[in-house]
Copies of this chain bind each other. A is one copy, B any other.
Amino acid sequence: MLKENSETFFNCTCPYEKAKVVIFGAPYDGTMSFRPGARFAPKAMRADSYALETYSPYQDKDLIHFPVFDSGDVELPFGNPAAVLSIIARRTAAIIAENKLPLLIGGEHLVTLGALQAAYAHYPELCLVHIDAHADLRDSYLGEKLSHATVVRRAWDILGDGRIWQLGIRSGDREEFIWAMRHTNLQKFDFSGLDTVFRQLQGKPLYLTLDLDVLDPGYLPGTGTPEAGGVSFTDLLEVLIKIGALNIVACDIVELCPPCDMSGASTSLALKVLRELILAFAIK
């Protein structure tokens, strides 16, 4: 007697061997300074994904034609961010080693660092595309080096100058914006005039990290640090479809906080972003 139901994203039934994209969840929000709850995102997204069509009228493609495997969540020790990151790195490395594309579902933004470390180990030319409301460029936060507020600075420790593109940023302290001028390519507020950016990214091995709070809280109230003044869903969709056509080698979607939006609309939106992102890869 097999189980009739399965708790996987979009009921994916592709066997691991055939998968091109491997999803895994990192239910961690241990450094969140404001509202926790991002830990519940992978579970909430799996649970609600049966309610979303697998077909995208935007891209006229269907998830059922694209081999995706859901490898479940990693189990993470709350209270030990370094251990958390190394568990995430290990899972990511294993996926990359088999020539598959890891797609990490956070959790808070710090989880990105584990996956990025693993991706960088395999792709020394790796660049980072960072879509977010927050610059996340602090060197430390409340004395800690590992924090959701320092994650892109830690990424820079690995990648160095000129390898990070930051899009949609509308929050940070003054020092972060000044620091970014010398070390990253930072686009404030929205996605206007990204053509040059897309040309620059062409051909490079890219890690894409999408902090969903780049969206206006009107579209996504379900996030731990909502920032008024964000982009619309359709703006994000357009950018994701373009970026997805580039050479993405690893990626993540982070900072959905389901308990902050009991309506379920935020979780539903995150799932649509996930669907469209996978389908954007699908032309490769």
Mask: chain A, 229-259; 1 = CB below 8 Å from B; 0 = not: 1000110010000000000000000000001
The answer to whether B228 and A219 touch across the interface, beta carbons within 8 angstroms, is: yes
The answer to whether B263 and A261 touch across the interface, beta carbons within 8 angstroms, is: yes
A50 to chain B, nearest CB (A): 8
A60 to chain B, nearest CB (A): 8
The answer to whether B16 and A79 touch across the interface, beta carbons within 8 angstroms, is: no
Interface residue tally of chain A, by bracket? 35 or more
Residue in B53, B94, B146, B272 whose beta carbon sits within 8 Å of that of A79 in the complex: B146
Chain A residues numbered 134-185 whose CB sits less than 8 Å from any CB in chain B? 141-144, 146-147, 169-174, 177
A84 to chain B, nearest CB (A): 9
Q: Does A76 contact B (CB under 8 A)?
A: yes
Chain B residues, Cβ within 8 Å of A146 = 79
Residue from A73, A81, A226, A273 having most chain B Cβ neighbours under 10 A: A226
The answer to whether A229 and B233 touch across the interface, beta carbons within 8 angstroms, is: yes
> Contacts A173-B53, A217-B265 hold; do A32 and B229 have CB atoms under 8 A apart?
no
Mask: chain A, 1-18; 1 = CB below 8 Å from B; 0 = not: 101111100000000100
Chain B residues, Cβ within 8 Å of A218 = 216, 218-219, 233
Chain B residues, Cβ within 8 Å of A201 = none
Chain B residues, Cβ within 8 Å of A76 = 142
Q: Does A35 contact B (CB under 8 A)?
A: yes
Residue in B43, B228, B234 whose beta carbon sits within 8 Å of that of A47 in the complex: B43
Chain B residues, Cβ within 8 Å of A74 = 4
The answer to whether A31 and B75 touch across the interface, beta carbons within 8 angstroms, is: no
> Contacts A142-B78, A177-B57 hold; do A226 and B172 have CB atoms under 8 A apart?
no
The answer to whether A72 and B5 touch across the interface, beta carbons within 8 angstroms, is: yes
